């Protein structure tokens, strides 16, 4: 027996489609006819899957599922499940509702898997780039414990907070980055195009040029003569750096350096701690055992230095040791975090304490980023203005001196 996908028309003139068991394609058509369905298309399930995957690839190529798409879908999923709508109907409603084509097809695949007797978590597993291990494990825990609605509520809250924090980080740094790009572009045009043309005037002058003008002309000549080589060197450096930080040793070195950076290092550490506590609170609150939760959190946290600490913490907790003590020995977590986790372990209120830490650190991250942005904006204006002023002074001073002599 094999499974066949079919499309056709029922006796009352409506479109019909689905899957049927049969020994052959001919027998599948006979069985469908007995059911009152005139089959227009019958194909074995394996062949249909290949064709469907090709169609899916052509539709979704270049499409990306954003975190905001997952956040919105999760909130809608939670609302529908808590309204006691069956899972299959919920998935069908979601696939009709979402606008992202790739996510729509993924939800359709998940609905098909659930129809065939699988779980939602099983349907999520083939898409690790869309649904994180945290997301899959929480859905699995919710399904096994019968609290899928509650778990989805927590997931919706978690994804909303993570998306909001990410958007604030991006929006806060957008202006300084734009200023840096504009400054680099302007300076490049000045040194490669403008200054070489203007400095030809100085070649006819018989007087000595100011030292800063000589420095400017020398630097301009170096940049204009080696511009392509400098661009190539920059791309090679970026390529080599990217390859290095994607190795295990390189990633650990880079992540450790980021944590030691002045100003930025503290923000990165606070963000990692906030991410750790928020994720662990969400998993622990969903009823996932602490060891399993730590294993998931280790994969969610971006920084490998923090991730290795959590790996050791999981082993220590498995041996009956305190989570707080293990984190304290690492030296990577602020004392207040360690203290609050210790209190949570003693009182049985670990989830509550983790939420308090996460909320407090999210606010502190936003405050520090706001202060950093406020400092960077005028600093970039000063640097940009100072650079342009130096160029103008270096060019205009010899011209004015030449005018005075004449």
pLDDT band of residue 2 (cuts 50, 70, 90) is: low
CA pair distance 367, 359, nearest whole angstrom = 12
Give residue 242's pLDDT: 92
Task: Provide mean pLDDT across the span 231-250.
Answer: 92
Q: Report long-range pairs for 146-153 (Cβ below 8 Å, ≥24 apart).
A: 147/286, 147/287, 148/81, 148/120, 149/78, 149/81, 149/82, 150/286, 151/286, 152/74, 152/77, 152/78, 152/81, 152/82, 153/78, 153/82
pTM to 2 decimals? Answer: 0.64
pLDDT at residue 221, rounded to an integer: 85
Which tens digits make up the pLDDT trace of 44-53?
Answer: 665 444 444 4
What residues form DSSP beta bridges with 42?
A: 6
pLDDT at 143 > cutoff 50: yes
pLDDT at 51: 47
Q: Average pLDDT for residues 133-155, to the nearest whole number?
A: 81
Chain center to CA of 255: 17
> Which of 151, 146, 119 has the alpha carbon at shortest distance from 135?
151
CB atoms within 10 A of CB 207: 9
**Span 366-377, pLDDT tens digits:** 888 888 878 877
Q: pLDDT by residue (tens digit) across 156-171?
A: 887 887 777 777 777 7
Between helix 67-82 and helix 148-189 the angle, nearest 10°, is: 160
Residue ranges per structural domain of the chain: 2-47, 67-160, 161-406
CATH topology of domain 67-160: Receptor-associated Protein (1.20.81)
Summarised one tens digit per residue, pLDDT across range 258-294 is: 888 887 888 888 888 888 888 888 888 777 788 888 8
* Higher pLDDT pick, 372 / 60: 372
Above 60 in pLDDT, residue 62? no
Q: Output the 3-class SS for 72-129.
A: HHHHHHHHHHHCCCCHHHHHHHHHHHCCCHHHHHHHHHHHHHHHCCCCHHHHHCCCCC
What pLDDT is stored for residue 53 in this prediction?
47
Same fold yes or no, 67-160 and 161-406: yes
| Cα separation, 135 vs 152, whole angstroms | 9
The predicted pLDDT at position 180 comes to 82
What architecture is domain 2-47? Answer: Roll (3.10)
Question: 94-129 pLDDT, tens per residue?
Answer: 888 888 888 888 888 888 888 878 888 888 888 888
Average pLDDT over the chain reads 81
CATH code, 161-406: 1.20.81.30
* Residue 244: per-residue pLDDT: 92
Q: Is the pLDDT of residue 239 over 90?
A: yes
1-10, 171-180, 356-365 — most confident range: 356-365
| CA–centroid distance for 87 within its chain | 28
Where does the pLDDT of residue 233 fall: very low under 50, low under 70, confident under 90, or very high at 90 and above? very high
Predicted confidence at residue 58, as pLDDT, reads: 45
CA atoms within 13 A on the CB side of 10: 7
Residue 13 has pLDDT above 80, yes or no: no
Task: Please give the pLDDT value at position 207.
Answer: 67
């Amino acid at each position: 027996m094999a499974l066949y996908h079919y499309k056709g028309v029922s006796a009352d003139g409506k479109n019909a489609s689905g899957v049927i068991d049969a020994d052959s394609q001919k027998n599948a058509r006979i069985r469908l006819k007995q059911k009152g369905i005139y089959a227009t298309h019958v194909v074995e399930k394996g062949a249909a899957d290949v064709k469907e995957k090709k169609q899916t690839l052509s539709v979704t190529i270049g499409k990306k599922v954003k975190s905001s798409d997952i956040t919105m879908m999760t909130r809608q999923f939670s609302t529908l499940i808590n309204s006691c709508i069956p899972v299959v109907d919920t998935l069908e409603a979601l696939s009709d509702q979402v606008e992202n084509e790739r996510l729509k097809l993924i939800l359709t695949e998940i609905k098909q898997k659930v129809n065939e007797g699988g779980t939602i978590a099983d349907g999520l597993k083939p898409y690790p780039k869309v649904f994180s291990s945290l997301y899959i494990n929480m859905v699995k825990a919710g399904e096994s414990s019968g609290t899928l609605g509650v778990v989805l509520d927590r997931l919706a809250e978690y994804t909303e907070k993570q998306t909001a924090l990410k958007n604030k980080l991006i929006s806060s740094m957008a202006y300084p980055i734009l200023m840096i790009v504009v400054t680099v572009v302007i300076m490049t045009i000045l040194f490669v195009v403008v200054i070489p043309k203007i400095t030809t005037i100085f070649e006819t002058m018989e007087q000595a040029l100011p030292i800063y003008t000589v420095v400017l002309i020398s630097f301009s000549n170096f940049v204009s003569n080696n511009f392509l080589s400098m661009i190539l060197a920059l791309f090679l450096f970026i390529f080599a750096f990217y390859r290095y930080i994607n190795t295990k040793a390189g990633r650990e070195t880079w992540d450790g350096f980021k944590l030691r950076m002045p100003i930025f290092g503290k923000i990165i550490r606070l963000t990692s701690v906030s991410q750790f506590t928020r994720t662990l609170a969400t998993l622990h609150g969903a009823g996932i055992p602490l060891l399993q939760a730590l294993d998931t959190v280790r994969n969610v946290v971006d920084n490998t230095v923090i991730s290795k600490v959590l790996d050791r913490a999981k082993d220590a907790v498995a041996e009956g040791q305190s989570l707080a003590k293990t984190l304290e020995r690492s030296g990577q977590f602020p004392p207040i975090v360690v203290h609050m986790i210790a209190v949570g372990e003693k009182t049985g209120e670990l989830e509550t304490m983790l939420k308090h830490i996460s909320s407090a650190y999210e606010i502190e991250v936003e405050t520090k980023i706001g202060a950093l942005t406020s400092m960077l904006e005028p600093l970039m204006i000063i640097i940009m203005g100072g650079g342009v002023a130096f160029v103008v002074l270096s060019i205009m001073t010899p011209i004015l001196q030449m005018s005075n002599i004449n």
